[in-house]
Each structure stands twice: as structure tokens, then as C-alpha cells.
Amino acid sequence: MALDKNIAVLIGGVGGAKLASGLVEAVPPERLTFIVNTGDDFWHLGLKICPDIDTLMYTLSCLVNPELGWGIADDTTAALDSLARHYQVEPWFRLGDQDLATHILRTHWLRRGRSLTAVTTCLAERLGLRTAILPMSDDEVPTMVNTIERGELGFQEYFVKYAWSPVIRSIRHQGCEKARLSQPAQAALTEADIVLIAPSNPWLSLAPILAIPGLRDLLTRLTAPVVAVTPIIAGDAVKGPTAKIMRELGLQVSARAVARFYGGLIDGFVDDRRNEPFEIEGLRTIQLNTLMNNQADKVALARALLDWIVRWAR
Ligand code: FO1
């Protein structure tokens, strides 16, 4: 049976989208709101690219490339190949032909003066989604990664062009001091019965959301429980740079270190059953199977963690 509660989810990246596809089977779509990281967004070849929003939209509309976890399944790259062959444009960021349609329409609507929130709502509706997908802010807050080898890089340069190999010194969220949480995102959090923090990369995908002024305060004022899900399983990241970044920032690669990163903001933590159990005073924890290899795992995790929260959050 679907859980009849309002649920707001702070989310970004491929790991988060996996849990999202479980949640949409466990909760009625109109009860779910995803508040998405836009720190990865950038302007490329004149187009506004919002990778985390698109990953979530494509995942929930079953368009996503299942091998990559981003982009559209069976997409071609004729436009990118042509840019490289005829105009010597370096094709370091792989934009598929079908994916380009999303970026063209988004950019067109933005240039006509619509907000990213409004544009994202229209794109998601046209893809047939009934779940709210909201950018964390309508203001641009690009993540800038300061690296030892290459100095400061824009997020996608760090992540894609240099394949997250440079060593991170620090990360900043450019312009965050002036950014505002979008009004619909604020309303979704205020009206939520449960707030989840997805198993996305805490430093790359969730820190940008938490950097929006007022968001941390809002989370601590909520009466609804705030619960994070570990991205660390068996002492390592499933995919991507989470473990590497933790080491570079001088942290132990553990679920406990992730829980501490969210310290003061969360009431509960969903750990993986393969991790070393830990206790933090005042924090409820449960160990579940958080490794999502297939749709059944995703739905089982979504149901189990919601059942657990409902039991103690009454
Ligand atoms: N990731 C890559 O590793 N290489 C790419 O060329 C690439 C292109 C790309 C295009 C559109 C899009 O929505 C996502 C894309 N990604 C690519 C994934 C993206 O860099 C990451 O998912 C996130 O920004 C990190 O969460």
C-alpha cells in the first residue's frame, strides 16, 4: 500500500535517482517532492545544462540510459560528432541528440524570462511525470572545485573533463550567499511529514543544497523527521568519487563520517547492513540493504525506510 504522507527529498546525481525510482512506487506521486541540486548546472555551447534535474526526470520517465545512469537510452551523438568534425569543438561533454532537445527547450524558455522552477515543472509535466521536481534555487550557484593539480575548476570540468582525478583542496558554491531557496521548495519542506536526504554524494550533490541561506535553519525548525540515507556501503562508495573525496578532505571513509557531516540536521540515519554499526547520541539509526541493483531493491529500500520512520515519528 502506498504511504499517504507528504515527503520532500533533497537529492542529486545518479545514486539519488535510484532511490527516487523506488520512492515513486511507495508513495502517491502527488505526495512526493524532489528538491534537486543545481550546483552541477552549467552553460555549455550556449545551452543551459542541468544534469541532476535531467537525471531525475529521465529516470522517473524511464528514458534514462540504464548503463550510464544519466542521459537517454539509445541516444546518438550526431550533433556532437558534427561539432567536432566540422568545427573542431572538443566533445568532452557528451550531449546526446535526444538529450539536446531538453537543453534547447529549457534554454529557449529561460531566455523568454521563465524561472528554472517553472521551466523544470513544464519539462517534467511534458515527460508525463506527476511528481514535483524542483531546482533548489532559481539563482545560479555553480559548484567550484579547487584542486591541487589544476587550480579551481567548474564542476563539470572537474567531474567529466578531468574524470574527477585531480585532488580536491576545497569546494565552494559560487554566489550561494545571495541565492534564495525557491518558494515552492520552501513550501514543500514546510508541509512535509518526512524529509529525506538521498544517498547522493554529500560533498558534491547535497552540500550545494545545504549552502542555500536559510535552508539549514529551516531543516532544524521542522517538526517533521529529517532522515539521511548512506551513500557508503561496505566502507566504500558504490560508484563515483565520494570515497576519494572523503579521503582528500581528511575524513574516514565511513557511514559514521557521513552521518556526522549531516550532524545537527538529521533525526535518523539509514545505514547499510554491510557497514560497521555505530552510534551517535540523539540519532536513530537502522541498517538496511541500501545497495540498489534492481528495481525490486529500490522499492524494498524505499518501503523499509519509510515504514521505519513512520514507526518512531508518529
Ligand atoms: N557524465 C560523464 O561522465 N560524461 C559525460 O560526458 C556526461 C555528459 C552528460 C550530459 C548530460 C547530463 O545530464 C549528464 C551528463 N553526465 C556526464 C553526467 C553528469 O556529469 C553527472 O551526472 C553529474 O553532474 C554528477 O552528479
Q: Is the CB of 54 under 6 A from ligand 1?
A: yes
Over 70: is that where the pLDDT of 82 sits? yes
Residue 160 CB contacts under 8 Å (≥ 6 apart), including other chains: 92, 93, 94
Q: Is the CB of 160 under 6 A from ligand 1?
A: yes
The 10s digit of each residue's pLDDT in 58-68 is 999 999 999 99
The pLDDT score that the predictor gives to residue 282 is: 94
Q: Please state the rounded mean pLDDT for residues 12-28.
A: 96
Of the candidates 214, 210, 69, 203, the residue with the CA atom closest to the CA atom of residue 144: 203
- Residue whose C-alpha cell is 568534425: 85
Q: Is the CB of 41 under 6 A from ligand 1?
A: no
Instruction: Kindly state the greatest CA–CA separation across the chain.
Output: 62
Question: CA–CA separation, 177 vs 160, rounded Å?
Answer: 27
Of the candidates 243, 244, 181, 252, the residue with the CA atom closest to the CA atom of residue 210: 181
Question: CA–CA separation, 226 vs 262, rounded Å?
Answer: 10
Q: Taking the model in full, what pTM does it have?
A: 0.97
Q: Is the CB of 231 under 6 A from ligand 1?
A: no
The pLDDT score that the predictor gives to residue 3 is: 84
Within a 13 Å sphere around the CA of 29, how many CA atoms are in the beta-carbon half? 11
Q: Please state the rounded mean pLDDT for residues 20-46.
A: 97
The pLDDT score that the predictor gives to residue 1 is: 67
Over 80: is that where the pLDDT of 299 sits? yes
Of 49, 75, 95, 160, which is best to mutate to test ligand 1, by the most ligand atoms within 8 angstroms of its C-beta?
160
Is residue 4 very low, low, confident or very high in pLDDT (cuts 50, 70, 90)?
Answer: confident
Q: Is the CB of 208 under 6 A from ligand 1?
A: no
Q: Is the CB of 94 under 6 A from ligand 1?
A: yes
Of the candidates 199, 142, 213, 128, the residue with the CA atom closest to the CA atom of residue 171: 142
The 10s digit of each residue's pLDDT in 201-249 is 999 999 999 999 999 999 999 999 999 999 999 989 988 999 999 999 9
Of 64, 70, 83, which is best to mutate to test ligand 1, by the most ligand atoms within 8 angstroms of its C-beta?
70
Q: Is the CB of 70 under 6 A from ligand 1?
A: yes
Q: Work out which ligand 1 atom sits closest to the CA atom of 12.
A: 26
The 10s digit of each residue's pLDDT in 89-139 is 999 999 999 999 999 999 999 999 999 999 999 999 999 999 999 999 999
Over 70: is that where the pLDDT of 262 sits? yes
Output b/e per residue, 181-194; b: 16+ Cβ within 10 A.
bbebbbebbeebbb
Q: Is the CB of 39 under 6 A from ligand 1?
A: no
